[in-house]
């Protein structure tokens, strides 16, 4: 049995597809109808680029659940998945990740993140944002930097999904988000285990260092991602 989820599996009543259609047949219509034009999305094509400050992004996702808000959340998730998938793809392509455990981690996680991108694009349809341009610098060519950056990205992904959970209105979207959140959490634990050496690590570097994980607001995640300088437009 395949471990890949499909849109039909989580969108039984067609709510997500209906939301994407209601958002507009074209990306420009989607931006106009959801009130995001002028906030950097139209110019940069992504949720992060073009923002003068992280504070400007705070109105993109509302704390009031609605179908239109769900589309914004799905695009927010898609941007993060684009970031992670491209990071792992380039690391693998550069062939400088030589440790057996790290190579396996990169290969498996890339496949997961690419599948997440495909799923979210399918759920959003014509409302999906475009893939951003990235520059990861030496983090995809230096194994030590790759390992450290992987841990940051996976921890950020977990917090981002946790942070938006309460803002989702549709059951189908909740199910999709939770299925991805669980996998991102496993990724985070996996890379933490690798980075700790897997042998009696200090408490701060345990694969599962906390009983309950922290959620992060959109503003916090945007600030963290913007600070990396990875997204170029």
On the question of pLDDT at 163 being above 50, the answer is: yes
Does 146 fall in a domain? yes
Contacts of 46 (CB under 8 A, 6+ apart): 79, 82, 129, 130, 132, 231, 233
90, HSE (Cβ side, Cα atoms, 13 Å): 19
The 3 state secondary structure assigned to the chain is CCCCCCHHHHCCCCHHHHHHHHHCCCHHHHHHHCCCCCCCHHHHCCCCCCCCCHHHHHHCCCCCCCHHHHHHHHHHHHHHHHHHHHHHHHHHHHCCCCCHHHHHHHHHHHHHHHHHHHHHHHHHHHHCCCCCCECCHHHHCCHHHHHHHHHHHHHHHHHHHHHHHHHCCCHHHHHHHHHHHHHHHHHHHHHHHHHHCCCCCCHHHCCCCCCCCCCCCHHHHHHHHHHHCCECC
Per-residue pLDDT, 31: 34
Lowest mean pLDDT among 60-64, 109-113, 166-170, 195-199: 60-64
Residue 84 structural domain: 12-228
Lowest mean pLDDT among 22-36, 109-123, 138-152, 182-196: 22-36
On the question of pLDDT at 207 being above 80, the answer is: no
Is 63 or 134 the better-scoring residue by pLDDT? Answer: 134
pLDDT band at 201 (very low <50, low <70, confident <90, very high): low
CATH code assigned at 199: 1.20.1260
Give the mean pLDDT of 4-21. Answer: 47
Is 121 or 47 the better-scoring residue by pLDDT? Answer: 121
Does 209 fall in a domain? yes
Using alpha carbons, list the distances in angstroms from residue 225 to 17, 141, 208: 29, 19, 23
- 115 token code pair: 């599948």
Does 1 fall in a domain? no
Query: What distance, in Å, lies between the first and last C-alpha atoms of the chain?
Result: 39
* pLDDT tens profile 88-128: 999 999 989 999 999 999 999 999 999 999 999 999 999 99
Per-residue pLDDT, 12: 44
On the question of pLDDT at 24 being above 50, the answer is: no
Does 25 fall in a domain? yes
Per-residue pLDDT, 74: 92
Give the mean pLDDT of 210-226. Answer: 79
Per-residue pLDDT, 64: 81
Question: How many domains would you assign to the chain?
Answer: 1
Does 5 fall in a domain? no
Does 4 fall in a domain? no
- Residue count of the chain, please give it: 233
| Residue 13 and residue 124 in contact, taking contact as beta carbons nearer than 8 Å | no
Does 2 fall in a domain? no
Is 98 or 44 the better-scoring residue by pLDDT? Answer: 98
Per-residue pLDDT, 111: 93
* Percent of the residues in the chain that have a pLDDT greater than 70, as a whole number: 68
Does 118 fall in a domain? yes
Best CA proximity match to 224, nearest among 174, 144, 179, 163: 163
Could you give the CA distance from residue 52 to residue 39 in angstroms, rounded to a whole number? 9
pLDDT band at 62 (very low <50, low <70, confident <90, very high): confident
């Amino acid at each position: 049995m395949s471990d890949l989820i499909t849109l039909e599996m989580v969108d039984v009543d067609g709510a997500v597809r209906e939301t994407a259609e209601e958002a507009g047949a074209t990306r420009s219509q989607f931006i106009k109808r959801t009130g995001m034009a002028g906030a950097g999305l139209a110019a940069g094509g992504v949720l992060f680029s073009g923002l003068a400050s992280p504070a400007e992004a705070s109105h993109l996702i509302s704390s009031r659940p609605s179908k239109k808000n769900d589309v914004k959340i799905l695009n927010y998730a898609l941007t993060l998945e684009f970031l992670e998938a491209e990071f792992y793809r380039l690391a693998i392509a550069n062939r400088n990740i030589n440790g057996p455990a790290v190579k396996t981690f990169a290969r498996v996680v890339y496949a997961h993140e690419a599948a997440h991108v495909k799923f979210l694009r399918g759920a959003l349809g014509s409302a999906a944002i475009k893939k951003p341009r990235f520059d990861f610098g030496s983090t995809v060519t230096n194994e030590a930097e790759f390992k450290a950056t992987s841990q940051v990205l996976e921890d950020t992904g977990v917090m981002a999904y946790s942070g938006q959970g309460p803002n989702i209105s549709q059951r189908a979207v909740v199910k999709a988000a939770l299925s991805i959140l669980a996998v991102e959490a496993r990724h985070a634990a996996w890379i933490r285990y690798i980075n700790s050496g897997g042998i009696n690590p200090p408490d701060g570097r345990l694969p599962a260092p906390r009983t309950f994980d922290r959620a992060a607001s959109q503003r916090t995640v945007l600030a963290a991602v913007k600070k990396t300088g990875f997204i170029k437009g």
